[in-house]
Amino acid sequence: MKDPKLIKNLQLGISAAVVFIASFVYGGNPSKFLPYIFGFEVQDLELKNIFRAIMGLYIAFGIYWIIGIQNPKHWQGATISNIIFMGGLTIGRLVSTILDGVSIQYSIGMILEALFFLWGYYNLRKYGQVKTY
Q: Is the dihedral of CA 29, 35, 38, 42 positive or negative?
A: positive
How far apart are alpha carbons 133 and 126 in whole angstroms? Answer: 16
- pLDDT tens across the length of the chain (133 residues): 567 788 899 999 999 999 999 999 888 888 888 888 778 888 888 888 998 999 999 999 999 999 999 999 999 999 999 999 999 999 999 999 999 999 988 899 999 999 999 999 999 999 987 555 4
Q: Do the Cβ atoms of 81 and 116 come closer than 8 Å? A: no
The one-letter code for the residue type at 43 is: Q
The one-letter code for the residue type at 53 is: A
102 phi and psi angles, rounded to 5 deg = -85, 130
